[in-house]
A and B are shown apart, each in its own frame.
Chain A
């Protein structure tokens, strides 16, 4: 296992790269950076007792983990410092605070969102959800019949944006969702149901 001094000395190429990155940022107190990186390295090397698997890791894996911890700490420190240095002074004009784009994160905006689809078909033997999200593959997303027998449903994570879909009934009949808007495909001229997915 490596000593934390090795990391401070910059012997590891990953650590050297992290240090180089930090050097490009506006100057910060060196002792603050050293404190953060040392603490991160120590935290990575002293796993909690409830993680025995960590203790059994081989030498190289331990080194990679420790280096990854350091890089993460350095990156966090860098972002914190950069944010502190570049954010405008506290004279920001408040507009409609809860409605500004800052109210949602860019990361969350590109995460899949679970959507439910429900279709009524009492006499169907099999129903599948098909659409651009599963490349119109009827075997990809079979729907489940409800206890009552006439409703079919399925939930799946979908990327934000516009999706075209339909239901495939008994492997042969493509049926649009009566509860959804529909649109004609500009290339093929066929209609599809439309689901616009977005985070509420």
Chain B
């Protein structure tokens, strides 16, 4: 009985901590109220609402005006919903959050869908984060999607994906290389270490992987 009470207490404390972590305090009452409503709706919809809280807190930290904070929170909530739909059946909060970040940099939902499909059983946070990294580095979004997808189809590990993303970033940032050239070169140099592209995968996606000059070789 005492044990049951202890367990119940632990659950209550855990729930309280979770609630606390989703609490938002804005620069004024109206902003706090509106953002809190957005957060509550996201929680009710089963979305990872901590992403909204984080972005709203960042907005407060950089002294964004109230309406901008609300607008930002609303935008994140909307993208989380789209992200979740796009990467189904993946439903890990971390996957959804990384898909939301990709969407925030205008990655089309079609690419997210294909990444989800290409990696049906493993979490996709790392491929999505590398995709975002490439796009932020100014690799054209279609090409960034092609490279990440091709690497997934060819059995690249998260570490290989991440090394490519970091390598391209370093080439651009430290060497002043053109992002597209750097991405193509680094992907091409991985060719000997990746499995051949499955024929089904090359036919399944319609991103033109097989026609790309630096794309993977067909088996």
* Chain A residues in the interface with B (C-beta under 8 A): 58, 61, 95-96, 99-101, 103-104, 106, 109-110, 130, 132, 135-137, 159-162, 164, 174, 181, 183, 185-188, 190, 192, 194, 196-200
**Docked pose: A186 CA to B135 CA in angstroms:** 12
Task: Say which residue of B75, B98, B169 sits within 8 Å of A161 (CB atoms).
Answer: B98
CA distance A61 to B156 in the complex (A): 46
Give Cα A99 to B62, complex, Å: 43
A135 with B129: CB separation less than 8 A = no
Contact in complex: A136, B61 (CB < 8 Å):
yes
CA distance A101 to B160 in the complex (A): 11
**Interface size classification for chain B:** 35 or more
Closest to A133 in B: B54
CB<8 Å pairs between A and B, sample of 26: A61-B3, A95-B155, A99-B160, A104-B158, A109-B158, A130-B61, A132-B54, A159-B94, A160-B126, A160-B129, A161-B94, A161-B97, A161-B98, A161-B126, A183-B136, A186-B104, A186-B106, A187-B72, A187-B76, A188-B55, A188-B58, A188-B59, A196-B129, A197-B129, A199-B158, A199-B159
Residues of A within 8 A of B76 (CB): 187
The answer, yes or no, to whether B114 is at the interface (CB within 8 Å) is: no
Interface residues of B in 1-48 (CB under 8 A from A): 3, 21
A190 and B159 form a contact (CB under 8 A): no
- Chain A residue with Cβ nearest B64: A188
Q: State whether A96 touches B195 (Cβ < 8 A).
A: yes
Partner of A198, one of B58, B106, B158: B158
Please, which residues of chain B bring their CB within 8 A of the CB of A197? 129
Q: Mark B87-112, 1 if CB is under 8 A from A, else 0.
A: 00000101001100100111000000
Contact of B162 among A103, A135, A198 (CB under 8 A): A198
Complex-state Cα separation, A194 to B129, whole angstroms: 10
Contacts of B141 in A (CB 8 A): none
- Bound complex: CA of A51 vs CA of B169, how far in Å? 53
A160 and B194 contacting across the interface, CB-CB below 8 Å: no
Contact of B122 with A by CB under 8 A: yes
- B88 to A: closest C-beta gap in Å: 17
B80 CB-CB contact with A under 8 Å = no
Distance in angstroms from B8 CB to nearest chain A CB is 15
Contact B125 A99 (CB under 8 A): no
Chain B, residue nearest A163 (CB): B129
Q: Closest approach, in angstroms, between the C-beta of A140 and any C-beta of chain B?
A: 10
- In the assembled complex, B148 has its CB within 8 A of some CB on chain A: no
How distant is A113 from chain B, measured CB to nearest CB, in Å? 10
The answer to whether B195 and A188 have CB atoms under 8 Å apart is no
CB pair A160 B123 closer than 8 Å: yes
B50 in contact (CB, < 8 A): yes
- Residues from chain A with Cβ under 8 Å of B160 in the complex: 99
A194-B168 Cα distance, complex, nearest whole Å: 14
16 more A-B contacts (CB under 8 A) besides A132-B58, A161-B126, A185-B58?
A: A58-B3, A100-B155, A101-B119, A101-B122, A106-B123, A110-B123, A110-B125, A135-B57, A161-B94, A161-B125, A187-B75, A194-B133, A194-B136, A196-B133, A197-B129, A198-B162
Pick from B55, B59, B122, B193: contact of A99, CB below 8 A: B193
Contact A174 B61 (CB under 8 A): yes
Does B116 touch A at the CB level, under 8 Å? no
Which residue of A99, A109, A198 is within 8 Å of B195 (Cβ)? Answer: A99
Q: Point out the residue from B72, B173, B196 that lies within 8 Å of A95, measured CB to CB.
A: B196
B194 and A96 contacting across the interface, CB-CB below 8 Å: yes
B157 at the interface (CB under 8 A from A): yes
